[in-house]
Amino acid sequence: MKTILVAGSKGGVGKSTVATHLAAQAALAGKRTVLADADPQGSSTRWAERRAGLESAVLPIDATGKNPLKKVPDDTEVLVIDAPAGARAAELEPFLDVADAVVVPVLPSALDIEAIVGFLNSLSKVPRVHKRKLPVGLVLNRTKPWTQTSRQAEQMLEEWPYPIVAKLRDTQGYVVMTGLGRSLFDYRSAQVREHQSDWEPLLQWLKIA
């Protein structure tokens, strides 16, 4: 089973968008996919419920209590975990113990990058991360590549030991698709394909492309 943990230091950075898109991509590839929603807001669960009628449905499970992954079926091929917003590494221990990779969405602003410093520092103390046995990748989300703000944010993140594994451009399409239980990967228009290409480096880094 491939287990991907999507986590961040604060809400509103696109954590659930990243988690649901990774789950959709895996399901569309024919993998038995589970989305473990550990965020009390339940955004990922509602997305999966809206998707239930599709052939590429994703099974949502509540991962907010003790032993949060006990409901994951044995035949699961891809498990995507949407972590609670604001959690530090110590609170994510049950997920970090089983994760194959950690994806950390970050917004392209100095304030948001400063807000994530504490979280990244807490991750660096996790033995598997420290020994480079658990890869951590940053996703620069809602970027506007033509702006100086996005370029400066990228330069700031490059100073960290964790690689930037994707740069997702800003588009309202993500909001619309979340409301429908869909993802970019469900569509084939030229405009959507352009945004799909933003995800390719991340999918390759996770080895699920």
Binned at pLDDT 50, 70 and 90, residue 209 comes out as: low
Domain harbouring 32, CATH code? 3.40.50.300
Domain presence at residue 3: no
Domain presence at residue 2: no
The token pair at 96 is: 């970090």
Strand partners, 9: none
Count structural domains, the chain. Answer: 1
Give the span between the Cα atoms of 16 and 61, in whole angstroms. 14
Domain presence at residue 1: no
Question: What angle do the packed helices 173-180 and 43-50 form, to 10 degrees?
Answer: 70
Domain presence at residue 90: yes
CB burial class (10 A; 0-12, 13-18, 19+) of residue 103? buried
| 3-state secondary structure at position 21 | helix
Residue 23 is predicted with a pLDDT of 98
Q: What is the domain extent for residue 37?
A: 9-206
Entry pTM: 0.93
- Find out whether 80 and 33 touch, Cβ atoms under 8 Å: yes
pLDDT digits (tens, 9 = 90+) for 77-124: 999 999 998 888 889 999 999 999 999 999 888 778 888 888 898 999
Domain presence at residue 100: yes
